[in-house]
Structure 1
Amino acid sequence: MARAYRDFTSLLLALGMVFVSTLGTSTGTDWTKLNEEYEKKIQPLIVKYCSGCHSGAEAESGLAFNNFADAKSVFRQRRVWEKVAVRIDIEDMPPADSPQPSPAERKTLTSWIQSTLNDIDCGKTPNPGSVTLRRINRYEYRNSIRDLFNIDYEPALGFPGDDVGYGFDNIADVLTLPPLLMDKYLTAAEEISRKVIIASSTGPVYNSPRKISQLTADSGGKFEGDRFVFSSNGKAPFEEQAPWTGRYTLELGMAGSAAEGRYPKVVISVDGKKVEELTVKTDTPNNPEAFKIPLKLRAGKRLLEIAFVNDHYIAPKDGNPAQDTNLYIYDLRLTGQKAAEPIPESALPEIHRELVRDSVPSATRTVADAAKDVMRRIASRAFRRPANDEELNRLASIVEKTVESGDTYEVGLQTALTAILVSPNFLFKVEEPALRIGNEYPLLSDFELATRLSYFLWSSTPDRELLTLASKKQLRSPGVLAAQLDRMIRDERARDFVRNFAGQWLTLRKLESFTPNEGQFPDWNEQIRDLSRTETYYLFLYVLRENMSVLRLLDADFSFMNEKLARFYGIPGVQGDKFQLVSLQGQKRLGILTHASVLAVTSNPTRTSPVKRGKWILDNVLGTPPPPAPAGVPELDKAELVGTLRQQLEQHRANPACASCHKQMDPLGLALENYDAIGRWRTSDRGNPIDASGELPTGEKVRNPGDLIRLIRDQKSEQFVRTLTEKLMTYGLGRGLEYYDRCAIDQILAKASKNDYRFQELLLGIITSDPFGRKGTRDEELP
């Protein structure tokens, strides 16, 4: 639904059919009026122009308009009608060889559909929408690990790429968790835990397998075949030379037989002292059970003993066979590992000292208690809210069991940290479900709001200040969100917002795959590619931090560049490798539309592409993405066309199937023809003078790139700001927008318009809006 919503409303904006000032004024849906309009105005037009193909059981595409009896039936099938409106708007329907509605009739149809589908009472609290449980993507994972542990590590580089939805890679619905990624998470978690918690290097290993045939017993036992058999009570002592004092493990493979259900019992002794008693319940002689008995041995010669203690024999009687409790020993081995010397505190990394501190086991403090303190520090940051007692007890138990098995306390902490980093509470942005009370949708908890804020503006986990405010329930206090917004955008981590939001909104990530023809464009290389992208990021961040109008992104008469990039552009007076603020007064450049990054990413390897550039503007600047090209129509490069690029486009538009979209895209792209495929200014192409003039579908005329930019700034400013706001909202929420989000968008724009659409005003409007701060449901209740 969300994509259809965008297509529908954006196309109406492009065609001048929506008057934004009237949006958001609804006081409730008047179904009687809408039903009457549907019956008297809409149904006759549908019957006249559509029902010939779209009615009855054989309706084309399964769409039968005779199934829609009134306005409510239209509303209930909003996905269908949103698509209908789009097809009518772009004059794709009815087909070219069918009778066509007049412009007034088209406007009647689309305006009524809009008023029906988007009639929301903004005076009430609209549904803030529901977000699918959202996994952190690989960039967010990398940043979260960096900010949690302050370690220089790139675990996410080996992760598979994340899927993209609505133009962004942080959309919940497409962030799945395939088995391959889970394996990568586990491997990364283990590596990270060893960097965060430092365990002493392992000491030497002792491994002493003993041949069962060499065992002797004082009575009742002897070696038979491949096993040592106790047929009656007895003891089998043997000596071991323990090379050091410490922990060892006696490993035994045993089976037995039971008389009257009495399984054999085994007593293990060291130097005459009982240390363990076992019951062997495996009664399959050739399938022994493995036992591991932890021992503490002093260095030197030790006497170990295996004793069978509960022989039980039942003689045959009344035809029943004899029963005998016997013990069979198949394997015997003593292993151990010397404890390593502790690492001096001065050699431990800062993160280890910060997390562990004095939380170590002692004579007065158990392993579990010490581990719980460490886990509280780690898990409460990693889970982005206080870890509860059940979680802490479970993590402490992992440490405790690791120590009991013979490993060190630090190895136990590493194992528990690994468990934290593969927990859903870390890998997903968990938001607890809450019930709607009447017309009020529940607020996010302060910790959930802190998480949304930090991943929106930093692509990373909340820092201590955000979590502290959340713990005190002060994040929503007057002025606090505005203060946090100001702090966060001035933090270095805000650069990740620029790279991840602007990099995807402006499609700059695709620059990696842009490889222009070397013979035609020898000046383009990887360094220029990276510098051009950096220029755009610097401008975006500057407009944000200086709280300028977002319209400055379009018409900025300044930019950021170093000497190498300035030389590429032909701009004099810039020296040094450092990026610096540069005036564009007197230059042929104005805002992001004239940046080499944008111009290159919208070009072909051998020439410019007015179609790509026009489509890019429609999609990312004006928010009016054209539909996919119709099937069966050859691409411009593959079509048999002649003449200049402008002439070829005119020939391409002659095809009725192409005309509706190209008449929107081509004038926009042609206006930028003075910039070649890598963004340099030119006045001719292959000997032909550049003609950058054109007329937009809405009648405006442009002569050059400056005209186009000023036209968008002056006459389509609200359209641009709405597009940017919707994309920011999509990115911040991690979901596509729905029709009920329009109220929040309208409120944000109305408030920001009073302050010249300043960037921070837009962001503040988003983070204080209901969709950002409340929990909703998947779909608004239908009438």
Structure 2
Amino acid sequence: MPPTFPPQRSTRFNARLLVVTLTIWMLCNCVSTTINAADAENETKYRKDLAPLLRTYCFDCHGESDGEGGLSLAADDSAEKLIQGRSHWMRCVTQLRLGTMPPADADPMPPSTRTQMADLIEQLATAVNCVRNPNAGKVALRRLNRAEYRNTIRDLTGVDYSPAEDFPGDDVGYGFDTIGDVLSLPPLLMEKYLDAAEAIMGEAIYTPPPPLIFQAQKDPHSLIGADKYGGKESLTIFSNGAVGFELDAPFAGKYTVNVVVSGTQGGDEPVRMELRGGKQSQTLDVPETDPVEKEASFDLKRGKQTIDLAFINDAYARNQYDRNLVLHHVEVRGTETSRLTTTLPKRPASHQVLLFQTPNNLRSFDDAATAVLTRFASRAYRRPASASEVGRLVALAESVRSGGASYEESMQVAMQAVLVSPYFLFRIERPREPGPDGAMPMISEFELATRISYFLWSSMPDDELLRLAHRGELRDRGRLLEKVARMIRDARASRFVENFAAQWLQIRNLDNVAPDTRIYRGFDDEIRDAMRTETLMFFSEVMKNNLPITTLIDADFSYMNQPLAEFYGIDGVRGNQFRRVSLAGTPRGGLLTHASILTVTSNPTRTSPVKRGKWILDNLLNMPPPPAPPNIPELEKGALVGSLRERMEQHRSNPACAACHNMMDPLGFALENFDAVGRYRTRDGKDEINASGEMPDGTSFRGAEGLRELLAVERREQFIRCLAEKMMIYALGRGTEYYDKCAIDEIMARVESKNYRFAYLIAGIIESDPFQKQGFRE
């Protein structure tokens, strides 16, 4: 039905209104038509393409009323119902690709048909209309994990707080420790945070220790020369003269002599006394007849000093007056002043950075504290701190100062409060509602800066990122990509390598493996560390130099030092420094032949084709096999005979075992030329190694070279898509869902258009809707 228009008002107005209204109507109609057409296309695809295959191969066992294992596929008789049953249909896809369904006793399915059916089910089950604002997904409230906490503290305060390693371990979800759903805050960890905040700020801000204090009290009658004078409770000095005492000064500093004195007045001037210390002297008037406290200060050197108290204006007139000095009490106090000046150079660099303003004659405490805490809290919270937040921190600092603390001490306490705030410990994003048209809302630019920084640096945004966010320029594509390129080349990008790559490739487990050194001589902790370094430096090379992603699989170079090169049997590498080494003419190339990966996927006494095959399925193809059924026996030599490969084939003859091993074993056997610590071999004991393999779909290959070709060429798209999904999980802090398909498809298209260069995968994730927007949980 064509649009209707309001009554005419003017020709120009109505013409413009006509254009706008018609345009809106056409857009809405176009979107509606597109949506309806997409739904109709899916139904056609189900009826004409998928349903015949299901009837041929699946419905005999999984019919509408007698589905084996409680699974009825026939009941989902439309594309719409298939989407509603997405979870069990996606399990079917996994079983098809693993070759476990249809079962071995059913009619055989040609490999091409198996691939076709799996692709059709996946396309229909994950069908998302990308025109209709697909869900961007919602990330749970995320606590900083241990690595992020330590890096953030270092970048915020300049303190490398290594005790963070003693925090309770972070739980892992989807293979990573960045997942919001599993990063809880147990009471023990909260206690650790409180202790850490105090220790960190104590190291970041220098507070001079209280000056050393010396105090001594003297009985006037014990003073030198007191025996000349009289008085029971007090000492009366009745003629010009002096009493004194020796002081063994423990330090150079300012010493104050406090005396409680009174005077018997007479004549035309008050009683006057002189206090002498070293070469210094001070004269005090004592006009009172009642006891009063007087003091004199002296700068004294360390060591023995003499302090004299002299009566200097004695006067006497017979039967008229007698002027005397009465000494009731003497006390000396010392304050070390040299300590303050000699310790100033010990201030850490962080002290001046954090306390860039201090109170003085022109600046009040509140003004200095407000400036300092506004900057600190804004950086710690990864967004501008509000006036009320800063006000509470300043009030806290003022309350500490009013208790006698210094400016530095009050700042320490206020900053400790920041470090235990939820806005620091958690990555908090303000909830938003979708727009009127269902469009997913954008996160704020400060939240985007935080996502980018923790993705690439495992830490808080730097000043440049925050500045771009403050100016509203972070979504300017040119500025964003320039900044991301600089971040990848920055030294802090090594944290991405250590945290993402080490978890994706599972080489964090390298410290937990214990190869039998009686069998694998030459393996030790030095080699273990070198294995890890090789893999991380290799991954970093691919990333920082924007090499094709497939270089991870088929590279003809790696990084080694002399010990690792000799362990591999490669000549020409000298010294302990790692350097790029050509692998031309060797059986090695890419991640698959790195000893780190080969070691973590082996048993202590032998290789494990099962572990290696599973590792490839999980981490390179994103096709995790189903869990092994219960009560499956281990591979034991006593029950099975022959070479490892022959024993595995006997083990796989059990249908229950074959369900898991048909896909894993061929991939693992392709790496059998590498022993349990990654050294090349051609025989396993007396048995010659057969490194050939054949996938359930009929694809065959031989050795690591054939496996590399399979992954880097024939299954390149699947490998890169797997890496994209793994990286997105790490970046978002949540598992990927079916509705992320639109974003991943866009990322893949972009990476393909850029010749599969690594940096464009990172940029594609950052520019994707799930990264830039906030959705909801389904």
TM-score range, shorter chain: 0.7 to 0.9
**Whole-Å Cα distance in 2 between the matches of residues 468 and 139 of structure 1?**
25
Correspondence for 1:521: 520
Correspondence for 1:435: 433
**Structure 1 residue 364: Cα displacement:** 5.7
For 1:162, which of 156, 170, 174 is the aligned residue?
170
**What does residue range 142-153 of structure 1 map to in structure 2 within 5 Å?**
142-153=150-161
Correspondence for 2:288: none
**Whole-Å Cα distance in 2 between the matches of residues 427 and 189 of structure 1?**
11
**What does residue range 400-415 of structure 1 map to in structure 2 within 5 Å?**
400-415=398-413
Indicate conservation of the 8 Å contact 2:100/2:662, yes or no: no
**What does residue range 272-351 of structure 1 map to in structure 2 within 5 Å?**
345-351=344-350
**Whole-Å Cα distance in 1 between the matches of residues 762 and 294 of structure 2?**
68
Opposite residue 472 of structure 1, the aligned amino acid is R
Q: Name the stretch that deviates more: 661-670 or 698-707.
A: 698-707
Opposite residue 176 of structure 2, the aligned amino acid is F
**Does structure 1 residue 79 correspond to structure 2 residue 87?**
yes
**Whole-Å Cα distance in 1 between the matches of residues 356 and 528 of structure 2?**
46
Correspondence for 1:373: 371
**Structure 1 residue 748: Cα displacement:** 1.1
Correspondence for 1:607: 606
**Whole-Å Cα distance in 1 between the matches of residues 605 and 207 of structure 2?**
57
Gaps (5+ residues) in structure 2? Answer: 1-33, 216-253, 257-292, 296-334
**Structure 1 residue 93: Cα displacement:** 6.0
Q: Any idea what SS the aligned residue of 2:580 has?
A: strand
Correspondence for 2:145: 137
**Structure 1 residue 170: Cα displacement:** 0.5
**Whole-Å Cα distance in 2 between the matches of residues 530 and 755 of structure 1?**
35
Indicate conservation of the 8 Å contact 1:54/1:60, yes or no: no
**Whole-Å Cα distance in 2 between the matches of residues 26 and 532 of structure 1?**
55
State the Cα deviation string for residues 300-343 of structure 1 (Å, max 9, x = none).
9xxxxxxxxxxxxxxxxxxxxxxxxxxxxxxxxxxxxx999867
**Whole-Å Cα distance in 1 between the matches of residues 510 and 158 of structure 2?**
30
State the Cα deviation string for residues 491-526 of structure 1 (Å, max 9, x = none).
111111001111011100000011101211121111
**Does structure 1 residue 120 correspond to structure 2 residue 166?**
no
Correspondence for 2:657: 658
Indicate conservation of the 8 Å contact 1:626/1:661, yes or no: yes
**Whole-Å Cα distance in 2 between the matches of residues 622 and 39 of structure 1?**
24
Correspondence for 1:265: none
Correspondence for 1:717: 716
- Relative to structure 1, the CA distance from residue 113 to residue 152 in structure 2 (aligned partners, 3 Å threshold; closer, same or farther) is closer
**Whole-Å Cα distance in 2 between the matches of residues 759 and 80 of structure 1?**
34
**Whole-Å Cα distance in 1 between the matches of residues 683 and 539 of structure 2?**
31
Give me the TM-score of the superposition, normalised by structure 2: 0.75
- Relative to structure 1, the CA distance from residue 563 to residue 705 in structure 2 (aligned partners, 3 Å threshold; closer, same or farther) is same
State the Cα deviation string for residues 356-412 of structure 1 (Å, max 9, x = none).
12332x466443332111111211111111111011001111101111223222222
Opposite residue 488 of structure 1, the aligned amino acid is M
For 1:395, which of 365, 373, 393 is the aligned residue?
393
Q: Any idea what SS the aligned residue of 1:702 has?
A: strand
- Relative to structure 1, the CA distance from residue 205 to residue 76 in structure 2 (aligned partners, 3 Å threshold; closer, same or farther) is farther
**Structure 1 residue 441: Cα displacement:** 1.4
Q: Name the stretch that deviates more: 737-746 or 144-153.
A: 144-153
**Whole-Å Cα distance in 2 between the matches of residues 626 and 44 of structure 1?**
25
**Whole-Å Cα distance in 1 between the matches of residues 565 and 43 of structure 2?**
64
- Relative to structure 1, the CA distance from residue 397 to residue 637 in structure 2 (aligned partners, 3 Å threshold; closer, same or farther) is farther
For 1:384, which of 382, 385, 403 is the aligned residue?
382
**Whole-Å Cα distance in 1 between the matches of residues 623 and 466 of structure 2?**
39
**Does structure 1 residue 704 correspond to structure 2 residue 703?**
yes
Correspondence for 2:186: 178
**Structure 1 residue 726: Cα displacement:** 0.9
Q: Name the stretch that deviates more: 439-448 or 505-514.
A: 439-448
State the Cα deviation string for residues 700-721 of structure 1 (Å, max 9, x = none).
2223221221222121111111
- Relative to structure 1, the CA distance from residue 480 to residue 665 in structure 2 (aligned partners, 3 Å threshold; closer, same or farther) is same
**Structure 1 residue 70: Cα displacement:** 5.3
Q: Any idea what SS the aligned residue of 1:674 has?
A: coil
- Relative to structure 1, the CA distance from residue 646 to residue 183 in structure 2 (aligned partners, 3 Å threshold; closer, same or farther) is same
Correspondence for 2:270: none
Percentage identity across paired residues of the two chains: 47
**Whole-Å Cα distance in 2 between the matches of residues 78 and 487 of structure 1?**
41
Gaps (5+ residues) in structure 1? Answer: 1-23, 208-242, 246-297, 301-337
- Relative to structure 1, the CA distance from residue 705 to residue 73 in structure 2 (aligned partners, 3 Å threshold; closer, same or farther) is closer
For 1:29, which of 29, 39, 56 is the aligned residue?
39
Q: Any idea what SS the aligned residue of 2:548 has?
A: coil
Give me the TM-score of the superposition, normalised by structure 1: 0.75
- Relative to structure 1, the CA distance from residue 117 to residue 390 in structure 2 (aligned partners, 3 Å threshold; closer, same or farther) is same
**Structure 1 residue 569: Cα displacement:** 0.8
**What does residue range 551-570 of structure 1 map to in structure 2 within 5 Å?**
551-570=550-569
Q: Name the stretch that deviates more: 606-615 or 42-51.
A: 42-51
Aligned-pair Cα RMSD in Å: 3.3
- Relative to structure 1, the CA distance from residue 54 to residue 193 in structure 2 (aligned partners, 3 Å threshold; closer, same or farther) is farther
- Relative to structure 1, the CA distance from residue 102 to residue 585 in structure 2 (aligned partners, 3 Å threshold; closer, same or farther) is closer
Indicate conservation of the 8 Å contact 1:26/1:120, yes or no: no
Indicate conservation of the 8 Å contact 1:614/1:668, yes or no: yes
Q: Any idea what SS the aligned residue of 1:479 has?
A: helix
Opposite residue 644 of structure 1, the aligned amino acid is S
**What does residue range 208-287 of structure 1 map to in structure 2 within 5 Å?**
none
Opposite residue 485 of structure 1, the aligned amino acid is V
Q: Any idea what SS the aligned residue of 1:157 has?
A: helix
Correspondence for 2:750: 751
- Relative to structure 1, the CA distance from residue 27 to residue 484 in structure 2 (aligned partners, 3 Å threshold; closer, same or farther) is farther
Indicate conservation of the 8 Å contact 2:766/2:772, yes or no: yes
Indicate conservation of the 8 Å contact 1:27/1:123, yes or no: no
**Whole-Å Cα distance in 1 between the matches of residues 389 and 174 of structure 2?**
36
**What does residue range 484-503 of structure 1 map to in structure 2 within 5 Å?**
484-503=483-502
Opposite residue 49 of structure 1, the aligned amino acid is C
**Whole-Å Cα distance in 2 between the matches of residues 92 and 593 of structure 1?**
26
Structure whose alpha-carbon radius of gyration is higher: 2
**Whole-Å Cα distance in 2 between the matches of residues 478 and 711 of structure 1?**
36
Indicate conservation of the 8 Å contact 1:367/1:399, yes or no: no
Q: Name the stretch that deviates more: 344-353 or 464-473.
A: 344-353
Q: Any idea what SS the aligned residue of 2:565 has?
A: helix
Opposite residue 415 of structure 1, the aligned amino acid is V
Indicate conservation of the 8 Å contact 1:368/1:396, yes or no: yes
**Does structure 1 residue 730 correspond to structure 2 residue 733?**
no
For 2:422, which of 421, 424, 447 is the aligned residue?
424
**Structure 1 residue 750: Cα displacement:** 1.3
Indicate conservation of the 8 Å contact 1:474/1:480, yes or no: yes
Q: Any idea what SS the aligned residue of 1:581 has?
A: strand
Q: Name the stretch that deviates more: 103-112 or 143-152.
A: 103-112
Opposite residue 667 of structure 1, the aligned amino acid is P
Opposite residue 760 of structure 2, the aligned amino acid is E
Q: Any idea what SS the aligned residue of 2:491 has?
A: coil
Correspondence for 1:669: 668
State the Cα deviation string for residues 446-492 of structure 1 (Å, max 9, x = none).
11111111111111111111111111111111311211111011111
Correspondence for 2:767: 768
**Structure 1 residue 33: Cα displacement:** 4.7
Correspondence for 2:236: none
Opposite residue 183 of structure 2, the aligned amino acid is L
Indicate conservation of the 8 Å contact 1:139/1:459, yes or no: yes
Q: Any idea what SS the aligned residue of 1:661 has?
A: helix
Indicate conservation of the 8 Å contact 1:667/1:694, yes or no: yes
- Relative to structure 1, the CA distance from residue 482 to residue 50 in structure 2 (aligned partners, 3 Å threshold; closer, same or farther) is same
**Whole-Å Cα distance in 2 between the matches of residues 101 and 76 of structure 1?**
29
Opposite residue 645 of structure 1, the aligned amino acid is L
Indicate conservation of the 8 Å contact 2:94/2:625, yes or no: no
- The alignment of Structure 1 onto Structure 2 pairs a total of residues equal to 629
Indicate conservation of the 8 Å contact 2:139/2:733, yes or no: yes
Indicate conservation of the 8 Å contact 2:556/2:584, yes or no: yes
**Structure 1 residue 66: Cα displacement:** 8.5
